[in-house]
Amino acid sequence: MFNGLDRMKSFSLDIPVLKETIAQLEIRIKNIEKIGTDAHDIGNRLVSESWEGQATKSFMEH
């Protein structure tokens, strides 16, 4: 256990690189959230349109 702690102490953090990595991850998370929101919206539209018998036609048009 102490050996691992010694290694961690000797590891130098490159803060600018970490900040850039965090920024890139935040962008990717936002993109994934948008994909999820879009998929949810499409699902809701398909469900609501299926009540009207228009789901297949509407989905194929988009």
Average pLDDT over residues 1-25: 72
3-state DSSP helix/strand/coil % of the chain, to nearest 5: 85, 0, 15
Q: Mind listing the pLDDT tens digit for each residue in 14-24?
A: 788 888 999 99
Q: Mind listing the pLDDT tens digit for each residue in 17-46?
A: 888 999 999 999 999 999 999 999 998 888
Cβ pair 46, 59 in contact under 8 A: yes
Q: What pTM, to 2 d.p., does this model score?
A: 0.52
Question: For residue 14, what are the contacts with CB-CB under 8 A and spacing of at least 6?
Answer: none
Cβ pair 55, 49 in contact under 8 A: yes
Average pLDDT over residues 46-58: 67
Sheet strands (E) in 1-62: none
Q: Is 11 helix (H, G, I), strand (E, B) or coil?
A: coil
